Homo-oligomer: A and B are copies of this chain.
Amino acid sequence: MNGARALLETLKASGVEVCFANPGTSEMQLVAALDEVDGIRAVLGLFEGVVTGAADGYGRMADKPAVTLLHLGPGLANGLANLHNARRGGSPIVNLVGDHADYHLYLNSPLTSDIEGLARPVSDWVHRATSADDLAEAGAAAVAIAHEGAGRIATVIVPANHAWSGDAISAPPRPTDARATVAPDVIERAADALRNARMPCLFVGGRALREDAMLAAGRVATATGARIVCETFATRHQRGAGRVAVEKLPYFGEEAQAFLAEFDAIVYCGADAPVSFFAYPGKPSILAPDTALSVRLASKRQNHLHALSALADALGAPAETDRLQRAGTPPVEEGKLTPVNAGAIIAEMLPDDAIVSDEGATSSFAAFAQSAGAARHDWLQLTGGAIGQGLPVAIGAAIACPNRKVIALQADGSAMYTNQALWTMARERLDIVTILFNNRSYAILNIEMTRVGAQTPGPKAKAMLNLREPDIQWRTLAESMGVEATTATTTEEFRASLGRALARKGPVLIEAMI
């Protein structure tokens, strides 16, 4: 078999089931090989940001990597922003980036670029295959690396001649390392810190936000009186009624600083000490108080379930926690649609076991808070701050979990970045309800403009922050790509639209005019 087929056979044997792709000429051998290897689903994205963002969403929900198939350096470049997000969130992804045949590279034809240079800032591992056999070996290595420490980004550069040359053999799967456990003395230090504190905090993130680890965190809290606080932007937070309740660290630095001020001990598990998202003149970047004792129980990449269970046991915690979230959602103030009443309706109607892909920015803060006691669900957030992630992540989640409803909470400005995702939702008939919050502005920037100390914005500055003139017609835009859409301006309309969308399968967009 040729190198392309040997690579795909290797990936399949290593557990890869999905290839998100936007290929070109240099990847045609890999495209052809997709038909020769059963069991790898090929999903086309019409822009590479959709491809890499979908792989991120898939990795979050499947806990294993999909592969992306990208067209040389520029194709990779178009996917970098969502790879940045994926890497920040600790998602597992294997990128396959085609390149010219190795003997062709020195000729510097138009699409030649420094692929390694482009890949490194977002990859934990970059390898250029040196032969058809090496291509297969690289595939096996990439999958193993992608599994390391919950999730890494492995990028394999595929020179076209190694894909098309023959007589290669597939490589056996490699064992994936278990995540490192925490040493007993660290458990003891964390236990001491929580025991001796007046106001202890257990600060969690990463895979500590999965249901099983959170039950252990709840036991720790029950035993010590600690409050459980989570990072502002979580890769995958399993929450809802009956799961352990968690408080969210506020986004804005001043609020976060005030929130954390009262703690005299903070134990971190799966999250670093929080810092402000941006720097602001005269405002601190470090948010936790200097006076608090700080203990790192487990890094992002260690085994959080083990760490929290061992900590609970060390504290002699009861087997059950009293921190379970009660069911219930806030009342809805009916009338004109706002982020607050839309959020309450979403919380109230959220189906059991839903997946929420949240890139709602200022418009979904309310929905998150209000859904604490909603039906149990997974909440996926923008992990690296690079907007254009929400709709692609919804695609990947829907492909990883075809029997679960996906709700994409999406800000209009961010949605424009990767609006091509709507087409893939339609083609693959994915069960995604996109709630497009249309406020016709980069609303967060209107807030940030004053926070950075800039004067009252003039007309040119204001024009850079609003999305009016012309207003984007989101219903029409969705329909142009084959996604059914409605517009809601009142709670009544929104409730009716959401009810219809939840009652059926397949992609729908609801434009929420707020």
Contact = CB atoms under 8 A, between A and B. Distances in A.
Interface of A: 21, 23-26, 28-29, 31-32, 34-36, 42, 44, 46-47, 49, 73-75, 77-78, 80-81, 84-85, 88, 100-101, 103-104, 107-111, 113-114, 117-118, 120-122, 160-161, 164, 233, 272, 275-279, 281, 285-286, 383-386, 388, 413, 416-417, 419-420, 423, 426-427, 444-445, 448-449, 451-455, 457-461, 463-465, 467, 469-474, 476-477, 479-482
Contacts of A114: 120-121
Nearest to A83: B77
11 contacts: A24-B445, A25-B444, A25-B445, A35-B459, A47-B388, A74-B385, A77-B84, A88-B110, A104-B285, A427-B470, A477-B477
A46 B111 CA distance: 25
Given A32-B457, A34-B464, A480 B473 contact: yes
Contact of A47 (B160, B164, B417): B417
A65 B34 CA distance: 44
A503 B135 CA distance: 56
Contacts of A23: 445, 464
- By CB atoms of chain B within 10 A, which of A36, A472, A474 has the most? A472
Contacts of A286: 107
A461 B35 contact: yes
A275 B106 CA distance: 11
Nearest to A277: B109
Contacts of A100: 278-279
Given A73-B84, A74-B384, A460 B111 contact: no
Nearest to A276: B109
A278 B104 contact: yes
Contact of A469 (B24, B80, B122, B427): B427
Nearest to A273: B107
B32 A449 contact: yes
Interface pairs A-B: 9 shortest CB-CB:
A470-B482, A35-B458, A74-B386, A101-B279, A104-B279, A32-B454, A77-B80, A477-B480, A476-B480
A278 B25 contact: yes
Given A107-B285, A470-B426, A480-B477, A455 B384 contact: no
Query: Which of A276, A427, A480 has the most B CB atoms < 10 Å from its CB?
Result: A480
Contact of A464 (B42, B110, B416): B42
Contacts of A477: 476-477, 480-481
B457 A31 contact: yes
Nearest to A426: B470
A25 B443 CA distance: 11
Contacts of A80: 74, 77-78, 80, 118
B449 A78 contact: no
A455 B276 CA distance: 54
Highest count of chain B CB atoms <10 Å: which of A160, A233, A286: A160
A161 B283 CA distance: 12
Contacts of A49: 78
A78 B277 contact: no
Given A47-B388, A161-B279, 12 more contacts: A24-B445, A31-B449, A35-B461, A74-B84, A75-B386, A100-B279, A103-B279, A104-B275, A104-B285, A110-B277, A470-B481, A476-B480
Nearest to A453: B164
Contacts of A110: 88, 233, 277, 383-385
A161 to B, nearest CB: 7
Nearest to A117: B121
Given A160-B278, A278-B104, A73 B452 contact: no
A69 to B, nearest CB: 8
A69 B117 CA distance: 22
Contact of A461 (B32, B74, B113, B467): B32
Contacts of A445: 23-25, 28
B419 A419 contact: yes
B35 A460 contact: yes
Contact of A164 (B281, B384, B386, B427): B281
A276 to B, nearest CB: 7
Contacts of A44: 463-464
Contacts of A35: 457-461
A459 B73 CA distance: 27
A129 to B, nearest CB: 15
